[in-house]
Structure 1
Amino acid sequence: MTEDPTDQQAPDGDGTISVFLVDDHALFRSGVRAELERGVPDVRVVGEAGSVDEAVAAVRHHRPDVVLLDVHMPDGGGAEVLRRLRPELPDVVFLALSVSDAAEDVIAVIRAGARGYVTKTISGRELADAVRRVHGGDAVFSPRLAGFVLDVFSNKPGAAPPGDPELDLLTRRERDVLRLLARGYAYKEIAAELFISVKTVETHVSSVLRKTQLSNRYELSRWASDRRLV
């Protein structure tokens, strides 16, 4: 275990928000702990872990108010921690804290039960505020992710209908390309519309074909239409 032996559960009713850190980089955990413990009297770090198994065991033990959760770890990442803990600890709030702002990462942890998603460019003051807000019941996202998340969970053209794991595999740009492709645009027209090169369009189409296990643009068009992407 990577927990500090002095870590202990915050006493009930003392007004502090107990926070647990999950990240496979010890130096990063130390930095976050230092930021939260410096001048933030209402937020207290009660433990930390560097792997999925350590996190599951320690969060069960500490039962913190908020878990700051990395998305990518060698043994499964944040979504796996959520899968194993959310059903048995519904009162614990999970806030993803990741270097990644990739669509598939955001969607995966939010659908797994995280209450928000912030990137590691966040300041210590902003992070403390995010912890307070998710603890209070708000959903919190880094500014550039907020609009994307709203789009993904809406019924707009190009948005992923809730609970469609196949669409979750596609990045936002891949969905943009697929939507135009399904409307009959040629590769050159898609490139002009999205301000990217024809070669980049081809790369995205190849990736979509691979992820969906389809064979050609006509099958993709039907697939996109079935999922309201057109």
Structure 2
Amino acid sequence: MTSRESTHRAEPPRVSVVIVDDHAIFRSGLRATLGDVISVVGEAATVEEAEVVIRATGPDVVLLDVHLPGGRGGGGAEVIHRCAAFATTSRFLALSVSDSAEDVVAVIRAGARGYVTKTISGPEITDAVQRIASGDAVFSPRLAGFVLDAFGTAAVAVDDELDRLSGRELEVMRLIARGYSYRETATELFISIKTVETHVSAVLRKLQLSSRHELTRWATERRLL
């Protein structure tokens, strides 16, 4: 290869990231940390802003705080649920000051690929983003145990129950269980109210439940919300 050919060789595209955190100073610092090797394509401070920005930019990775204002109080997990229908190629990495088992398990159940705390160093968060983008799962060392415990024997039964549901039925189940009306669910998933009704009936039948109130209790007990 000649020096000219080497000079003009295309570099691989940088990983694109959206930062979701309600502290502007932290977002600014994180953007500066990632700037040399990661392309930060958007920022958001609330659940609603995150949904809009993620829909508009379609990032490879979303760096997501667990506790966020807005929405229905679901924080980072709610952002993942809201984006499930359209952010099919985006991967979510939780980045939070919290290291509680409850927070870790909730956001992983929602669909995050990893969870790291804000004590992480600059090089470590850059590496974590790149690994998440490539399909790996990433956890701060002491948090991995929470995930293993939560998704151990007890989780097998839940997985068996969830395996009865299609992908769309699972999306509908989570929204209805969190208190969304049929109309709100239809709007959220871009489907008709009649289709929502059909999916809800199928979910109740497959899970052997008799009402949406039982569905909410079922999902809450299994920490699926």
- 8 Å contact from structure 1 (residues 153, 162) kept in 2: no
Return the offset for 1:87.
2.5
2:92 aligned with 1:97: no
Moved over 6 A (4+): none
- Give the corresponding residue for 1:65: 60
2:39 to 37, 41, 44: 44
Match of 2:4 in 1: none
Q: Give the secondary structure class of the aligned counterpart of 2:135.
A: coil
Give a deviation string over 1:153-201, Cα, whole Å, max 9, x none. 112xxx655649xxxxxxxxxxxxxxxxxxxxxxxxxxxxxxxxxxxxx
Q: Note closer, same or farther for the CA distance 1:137–1:162 as it changes in structure 2 (3 Å cut).
A: farther
Distance 1:47-1:145 versus aligned 2 partners, 3 A rule = same
The answer to whether the 8 A contact 2:104-2:146 is kept is no
Q: Which residue of 1 aligns with 2:30?
A: 32
Distance 2:101 2:142 in 1: 11
TM-score normalized with structure 1 length: 0.60
Separation of aligned partners in 1, 2:136 and 2:104: 17
Aligned twin of 1:119: 117
SS in 1 for 2:126: helix
State whether residues 18 and 41 of structure 2, in contact with CA within 8 Å, keep that contact through their aligned partners in structure 1: yes
Number of the residue aligned with 2:201: none
Residue 21 (str. 1) matches residue 16 (str. 2):
no
**Contact 1:98–1:118, Cα closer than 8 Å, also in 2:** yes
5+ long unaligned stretches in structure 1: 1-12, 165-226
- Contact 1:152/1:161, CA 8 A, preserved across alignment: no
**Are the structure 2 counterparts of residues 36 and 85 from structure 1 closer, same or farther at C-alpha, using a change threshold of 3 Å?**
same
TM value normalised by structure 2: 0.62
User: Matched residues, percent identical?
Assistant: 64
Check the 8 A contact 2:105/2:146 in 1, yes or no: no
Q: Deviations over 1:194-216 (max 9, x none)?
A: xxxxxxxxxxxxxxxxxxxxxxx
SS in 1 for 2:79: helix
CA distance in 2, matches of 1:162, 1:133: 30
CA separation of 1:92 and 1:138: change in aligned 2, threshold 3 A: same
In structure 1, distance between residues paired with 2:157 and 2:21: 28
Q: Distance in 2 between matches of 1:160 and 1:70?
A: 25
Q: Counterparts of 2:57 and 2:86 in 1: how far apart (Å)?
A: 14
Q: Would you say the 8 A contact 2:65–2:94 is kept in 1?
A: yes
Q: For residue 139 of structure 1, what is the aligned residue in structure 2?
A: 137
1:150 Cα shift? Answer: 1.3
Q: CA RMSD in A?
A: 1.9
